Structure 1
Amino acid sequence: MTDFQRTLLTGAGGALGTQLRKSGTRLGKVVRLSALGPCENLEAHEEDFPANLADFDEVSKAVKGCDAIIHMGGQSLEGPWKTILDANITGGYNIYEAARQHGVKRIVYASSVHAIGFYERTEMIDGNVPTRPDSLYGVSKTFVENLGRYYFDKFGIETVCLRIGSSFPEPTDRRHLITWLSYRDCRQLVEKALSAPRVGFMIAYGMSNNSEAFWDNRTAAVLGYKPQDSADDFREQVFAKTTQGDPNDPAVRFQGGSFCAAGHYEDENK
């Protein structure tokens, strides 16, 4: 159970934000929901506070009065540079600077596998390896991870960066059998990142209890995270519906999957 009085949840209208709302007061005694538009079906402990992440004044108003932030908001896929810049990079800076100005103590940040997507699938890595982004989206995730480190080292704001693998209702391809994070485990991981007594600056991976793994996730264990679900339960049905793929295809060779095989977004979407 967290001791935070008021927690801001950005991206509250998205798939993972909607799932995190199910954690209730385990995220904070009051949970302030923020998205571009209004959130619906508010519970007694929730308050609605729409904000555009690219607008510092709006972000500052949303952060004011909060002592923790779960930053799930922003562009969630590869996209135009201007969109990535405004939503993820400027938006990430606005979150951290508003947190500094308003005395926020901890931030849980939804980073991504795409921050390290160009490591090969044959490599086991941990949270201390150099970043290897596979997209402009991945670049934006590495930028905000570095903001988190900077704001901890200089201003003492604690951050847990969660490099989320593939969080969907169930795995649908063979890569997901390695990277899958169930919604239930996602909620637990965020709750643990908030409730751990001290985290400093930490990078952990968002993955369920899958028998195959790309990532040494000891930092998540330090938080007390004990995943309850496993992609192994879906292995037979995934194998029946999919093929192995060419091991030299970048989508198969690298941990970031199809993001590694895609060309530069601006070239492909003129």
Structure 2
Amino acid sequence: MDVLVTGAGGRVGTAITDHLSDDGYDFTLLDVTEVDGPGESVVADVRDYEAIRPSFEGQDAVVHLALIREGDEFGADSRGVGWSADLRSNLEGINNVYEAAIDAGVESVLFASSNHAVGMVEVRNSPAVYHDEGIVAGHDEPHRPDSRYGLSKSYGEDLGRLAAEAHGIRFYGLRIGAVRAPRYDHPYGDAERGVDAGRWERGSDAYEEQVARMKGLWQSRRDLAHLVECCLQDDTVEWDHFYGVSANDRRWLDDLQYARETIGYDPRDDGEEWSEPPEPSESE
């Protein structure tokens, strides 16, 4: 299967290629800088339609990951309702990718949506939502973006539905929870990253809150790759969305039974199985 991955050099893109490179996929890796990975590297910006269009020819599927973040955090400063250059860029990129996929006759588009598309559930219920107090966003949760970033993800899902219903592309919106780089690929990852950055101390209240949050929101790199493969191999869905989380006991993004029944997503990891961070490797 020929698969084009945009934003292939990021942590989600590398999770896909790290785990699926030996499974019969022929990847084309598109990013704004050259990607060292299993497949042809194409340097192009999704905001430039003419630059990316040739890479869509002959592809069976497109996994659209490329984005521009409005800062590293999604705090109140990103919740304004005004226009921003980053929002404009992300919407332009989404449109270009879908248009190119339709024009090239690509069969399916997988879109890296986000928990932030329904993130106001977390914002309005924090910190209770981190402690398994019955707060759940199910499969039928409507869009509740918590930021301009979340708004762009909601837009991408809606445009994907239009592309599916009007143009016959199969569309999968992956509402990814928290996928991290290999060093932090565990439910203590964000807490440990904060320690490494000097933001808090291990065992502090801030540290423990990050652990509680990640034990619900974490998706391991191998589970993310498995979710992507389930969508790539599916031929039944017209359009749909699925939550990108591992089988965490305290997950508040919960459509796992639906995802199992619909596309066969059966994650292997559970944040609750971790009681402490892993020991640092000697290479770190």
CA contact (8 A) 1:78 1:135 kept: no
Shift of 1:223: 0.9
CA contact (8 A) 1:203 1:219 kept: no
> Does residue 171 of structure 1 match 2:198?
no
- 2:53 corresponds to: 60
Choose 123-132 or 187-196, whichever is displaced more: 123-132
CA contact (8 A) 1:164 1:206 kept: yes
- 2:98 corresponds to: 96
Shift of 1:76: 4.5
- 1:19 corresponds to: 15
Counterpart-to-counterpart distance in 1, 2:276 and 2:70 = 26
Give secondary structure in 2 for the equivalent of 1:74.
Answer: coil
Q: Deviations over 1:76-107 (max 9, x none)?
A: 55578212321x21100101011111101101
Q: Deviations over 1:129-166 (max 9, x none)?
A: 21010111000000100011000110111111110011
CA contact (8 A) 2:11 2:179 kept: no
Counterpart-to-counterpart distance in 2, 1:196 and 1:149 = 17
CA contact (8 A) 1:27 1:191 kept: no
Shift of 1:171: 1.6
- 2:193 corresponds to: none
Give secondary structure in 2 for the equivalent of 1:152.
Answer: helix
- 2:258 corresponds to: 219
Runs of 4+ in 1 over 6 A off after TM superposition: none
- 2:114 corresponds to: 112
Counterpart-to-counterpart distance in 2, 1:152 and 1:17 = 23
- 2:63 corresponds to: 70
Shift of 1:123: 2.9
The count of aligned residue pairs is 228
The one-letter amino acid of 2:186's match is E
Counterpart-to-counterpart distance in 2, 1:27 and 1:106 = 17
| Correspondences of 1:225-244 after superposition (within 5 Å) | 225-234=265-274, 236-237=275-276
| Correspondences of 1:14-53 after superposition (within 5 Å) | 14-22=10-18, 23-24=20-21, 26=23, 28=25, 30-40=26-36, 42-43=37-38, 46-53=39-46
Inter-CA distance 171–77: structure 2 relative to 1 (3 Å threshold): farther
Provide TM-score, normalisation by structure 1. 0.79
> Does residue 209 of structure 1 match 2:247?
yes
- What are the ranges of 5 or more consecutive residues in structure 2 without an aligned counterpart? 73-77, 79-83, 189-209, 278-284
- 1:9 corresponds to: 5
Inter-CA distance 196–156: structure 2 relative to 1 (3 Å threshold): same
Counterpart-to-counterpart distance in 2, 1:26 and 1:90 = 32
The one-letter amino acid of 1:233's match is E
CA contact (8 A) 2:62 2:106 kept: yes
Inter-CA distance 77–111: structure 2 relative to 1 (3 Å threshold): farther
Choose 66-75 or 134-143, whichever is displaced more: 66-75
Inter-CA distance 225–149: structure 2 relative to 1 (3 Å threshold): same
CA contact (8 A) 1:51 1:62 kept: no
State, as a whole percentage, how many aligned pairs show the same letter: 31
Give secondary structure in 2 for the equivalent of 1:153.
Answer: helix
Counterpart-to-counterpart distance in 2, 1:77 and 1:26 = 35
- What are the ranges of 5 or more consecutive residues in structure 1 without an aligned counterpart? 239-270
- 2:75 corresponds to: none
| Correspondences of 1:132-211 after superposition (within 5 Å) | 132-168=144-180, 169-172=185-188, 173=210, 174-211=212-249
Counterpart-to-counterpart distance in 2, 1:115 and 1:78 = 17
